[in-house]
Amino acid sequence: MCAKPQREEDILPPEPVRTWTAPPPPPPPVLARVGFHNRVAVQIGMMTACIAALLCSLLFVLSPVWIPAAGFLAVYLYHRRTGEPISTSAGARMGWITGVFLFGIAALMFTVGFVSQANNGQFAADLQQQMRRMPMSDPEATAQALKLLESPGGQALIILFLLGFLFAVIMSFCAAGGALGAKIVGKD
């Protein structure tokens, strides 16, 4: 009647002493590699490309300065926003992303301007005038080149050639600016 256990089976083992331990800290967030799958990199690249396109359209003479500066600025802003150290190759990729957007804007502006001049007939006349001023030894080659420029296929060929040249220049300048930016930002 006193509730004393009569057998060993009725005796409960003492409860183990529980100690509290802090959970391990969460792993640091894994930031996406600099590329088109990285949302932050794409946003910053688009923003700096728009700024560079505006500056290039306002002060075209300084375009060789604005284009690498866009790649540099993109790397700087990416580093400030994420706090992630950026290697030189990641900086070049960041400049490349900026260059893709800048080329898209520049190609659109160039093509619209070219088509408007071609519709007025001004482009062909200006190009013919420039070709006549060039010192060429063969007048027949000059006549064939002028004939090519008058055809829509010839004008399309010129557009494609100039867009390819524009792509190469913008991409190389932006990537170089991004790599330089990574080199300088990495020294912090």
Q: Tens digits of per-residue pLDDT, 105-164?
A: 999 988 888 777 777 766 667 777 777 777 766 777 777 777 777 777 877 888 888 899
pLDDT of residue 111: 82
pLDDT of residue 9: 63
pLDDT in tens, 38-56: 999 999 999 999 999 999 9
pLDDT of residue 52: 95
Task: Tell me if 106 sits within 8 A of 169, measured CB to CB.
Answer: no
Which long-range CB contacts under 8 A does 143-148 form with residues at least 24 apart?
A: none
Q: Give the CB-side neighbour count of residue 61, counting CA atoms within 13 A.
A: 0
- The answer for residues whose C-beta is within 8 angstroms of residue 143's C-beta and 6 or more apart is none
Q: Which of 3-17, 35-49, 84-98, 138-152 has the lowest mean pLDDT?
A: 3-17
Q: State yes or no: pLDDT of 93 exceeds 90.
A: yes
pLDDT of residue 72: 96
pLDDT of residue 130: 74
pLDDT in tens, 60-82: 889 899 999 999 999 999 999 98
pLDDT of residue 141: 73
Q: What is the rounded average pLDDT of the residues 22-41?
A: 82
Task: Tell me if 17 sits within 8 A of 73, measured CB to CB.
Answer: no
Band (pLDDT 50/70/90 cuts) for residue 182 is: very high
pLDDT of residue 10: 57
Give the C-alpha separation, 89 to 96, whole Å: 10
pLDDT of residue 5: 62
What's the whole-number average pLDDT of the chain? Answer: 84
